[in-house]
C-alpha cells in the first residue's frame, strides 16, 4: 500500500483496518456491529432518561449510574464513525490530527469509567458501612466534584500522549491493526526510541486503573466485613444485593482489560483475529452490558423502565 506522508505532520495519514482477509464480508459483519452500537445508544439513553425523569431516582447511587451511562455512550460514539466507516464505505484513511483526537477520547473515557466505578464503590461502602452518614457524606455538590475530578484526572493524564506521539517521525508502515486509533499501536510505528512513551503509559495505568482497582477491592473488603457482622441473614443478603449490579460492572470492565493486556503481552503467537476480537470486547462489551445489567438487577430502574413501556403501550391502545 502506498503511504501518504509529507514533511508536515498535518498531512500524514494512517490507514485503519477492519477484519483483514474478510473485506468481502464487511457488509455482513457490519450487521452485528450496528445492532451492538444501536443497543448501546438506546440502552444508555434509556438509563439517562429514566434517572432524569424520576425524582425518586435523584440519589447518589443513580447519579453515579448516570455518569457511567454517559461515559459508556461517549466511548461508543468515539469508535462508531471509523468502525462503521470501514465496514460500509471502506473509508480506511484517517489524518493524524483526527487519529490523535480519537485516541484521546478513547483512552480518556476508559480511565473515566475506571474512576466512576471507584466512585460507585465508595457510594456502596458509605451506604452499607455508614448508612446514617450517607446523605451528609455524598451530597450533590460532592458528587459533582467527584465527577469533575474523574474527568480532569483522566484528561490531564492522557493529554501528553498526543504530544509524545507528535514528536515522532513515522517512517514505517502507517497501517494500523484496528478500526480505531490506540496509543500502544501508533507508537510502534515510530522510527525512534519509544521508551518514554512506554514508561509514561505504565505510569498512567498505575496512577489510574491500578489505584482504582486496589481501592475498589479495599472498599468491598470493608463492605464484606460489615455485612458479615450483621446478625440477620436476610439483612445480609439484602445489603449484598445492592452491590450485585456494581460488581458486575466492575467485572465487565476489568476482565476484558486484563484479557486484552495478557493477549498483547503473551499472545504474540495467537492469530491476529484473537487480538482484534479482544479489543472489540474491551471497548464494546461494558457499554453494551452495563445498561442491561442495571435494568435487570436494579429493582428501581427495572420498575421505571417497565412503567415507561406500559405507558407507551397504553397510548398506542388509545390511538
Could you report the per-residue pLDDT of 87-117, keeping only the tens digit for each? 999 999 999 899 999 999 999 999 999 999 9
Q: Would you say residue 83 lies in a domain?
A: yes
Is 319 a residue whose pLDDT tops 70?
no
Q: What's the Rg (C-alpha) of the chain?
A: 22
Residue 65 lies in a domain: yes
Is residue 13 one of the residues assigned to a domain?
A: no
pLDDT band at 133 (very low <50, low <70, confident <90, very high): very high
Alpha helices by DSSP H, the chain = 26-53, 60-89, 96-129, 134-137, 140-166, 183-187, 195-205, 211-228, 233-241, 244-266, 272-297, 299-318
Check if the beta carbon of residue 76 is closer than 8 Å to that of residue 45.
no
Q: CA 268, 258, 289: angle at the middle one, nearest 5? A: 120
Q: What is the average pLDDT value for the chain, to the nearest integer?
A: 90
Query: For residue 111, is it within any domain?
Result: yes
| pLDDT value at 214 more than 70 | yes
Considering Cα of 94, then 99, then 102, then 107, what sign does the dihedral take? positive
154 found inside a domain: yes
**Spatial CA neighbour of 43 closest among 294, 310, 245:** 294
Kindly state whether residue 218 falls inside one of the protein's structural domains.
yes
Show the domain range for 299: 19-304
Q: What is the pLDDT of residues 68-95, one digit of tens each?
A: 999 999 999 999 999 999 999 999 999 9
Dig out the grid coordinates for 256 from the structure. 476484558
The torsion of the CA quartet 85, 86, 89, 93, rounded to 10 degrees, works out to 90
CATH of the domain at 146: 1.20.1070.10
In a domain, 311, yes or no: no
- Between 171-175, 225-229, 292-296, the lowest mean confidence (pLDDT) is in 171-175
Share of the chain above pLDDT 70, in %: 93
Residue 267's SS3 state is coil
Confidence of residue 315 (pLDDT cuts 50, 70, 90): low
Q: Under a CB-based contact definition with an 8 Å cutoff, are residues 150 and 112 in contact?
A: yes
- Residue 11 — pLDDT band, cuts 50, 70, 90? very low
* pLDDT of 253 above 60: yes
Q: Is the pLDDT of residue 63 over 70?
A: yes
User: Is residue 6 assigned to a domain?
Assistant: no
* Tally of structural domains, the chain: 1
Amino acid at each position: 500500500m502506498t503511504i501518504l506522508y509529507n514533511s508536515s505532520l498535518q498531512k500524514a495519514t494512517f490507514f485503519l483496518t477492519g477484519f483483514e482477509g474478510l473485506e468481502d464480508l464487511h457488509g455482513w459483519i457490519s450487521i452485528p456491529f450496528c445492532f451492538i452500537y444501536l443497543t448501546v445508544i438506546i440502552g444508555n439513553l434509556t438509563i439517562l432518561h429514566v434517572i432524569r425523569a424520576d425524582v425518586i431516582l435523584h440519589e447518589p447511587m443513580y447519579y453515579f449510574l448516570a455518569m457511567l451511562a454517559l461515559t459508556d455512550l461517549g466511548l461508543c460514539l468515539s469508535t462508531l464513525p471509523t468502525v462503521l466507516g470501514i465496514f460500509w464505505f471502506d473509508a480506511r484513511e484517517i489524518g493524524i490530527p483526527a487519529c490523535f483526537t480519537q485516541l484521546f477520547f478513547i483512552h480518556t473515557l476508559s480511565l473515566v469509567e475506571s474512576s466512576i466505578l471507584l466512585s460507585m464503590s465508595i457510594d456502596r461502602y458509605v451506604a452499607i458501612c455508614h448508612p446514617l452518614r450517607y446523605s451528609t457524606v455524598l451530597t450533590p455538590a460532592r458528587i459533582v466534584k467527584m465527577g469533575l475530578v474523574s474527568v480532569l484526572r483522566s484528561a490531564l493524564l492522557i493529554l501528553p500522549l498526543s504530544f509524545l506521539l507528535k514528536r515522532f517521525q513515522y517512517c514505517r508502515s502507517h497501517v494500523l491493526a484496528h478500526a480505531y486509533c490506540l496509543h500502544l499501536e501508533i507508537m510502534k510505528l515510530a522510527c525512534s526510541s519509544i521508551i518514554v512513551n512506554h514508561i509514561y503509559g505504565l505510569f498512567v495505568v498505575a496512577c489510574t486503573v491500578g489505584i482504582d482497582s486496589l481501592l475498589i477491592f479495599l472498599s468491598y473488603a470493608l463492605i464484606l466485613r460489615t455485612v458479615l457482622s450483621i446478625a440477620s441473614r436476610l439483612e445480609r443478603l439484602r445489603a449484598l444485593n445492592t452491590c450485585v449490579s456494581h460488581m458486575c460492572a466492575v467485572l465487565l470492565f476489568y476482565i476484558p482489560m486484563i484479557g486484552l493486556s495478557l493477549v498483547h503481552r503473551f499472545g504474540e503467537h495467537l492469530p491476529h483475529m484473537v487480538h482484534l476480537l479482544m479489543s472489540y470486547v474491551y471497548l464494546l462489551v461494558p457499554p453494551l452490558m452495563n445498561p442491561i445489567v442495571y435494568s435487570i438487577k436494579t429493582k428501581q430502574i427495572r420498575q421505571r423502565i417497565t412503567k415507561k413501556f406500559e405507558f407507551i403501550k397504553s397510548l398506542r391502545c388509545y390511538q
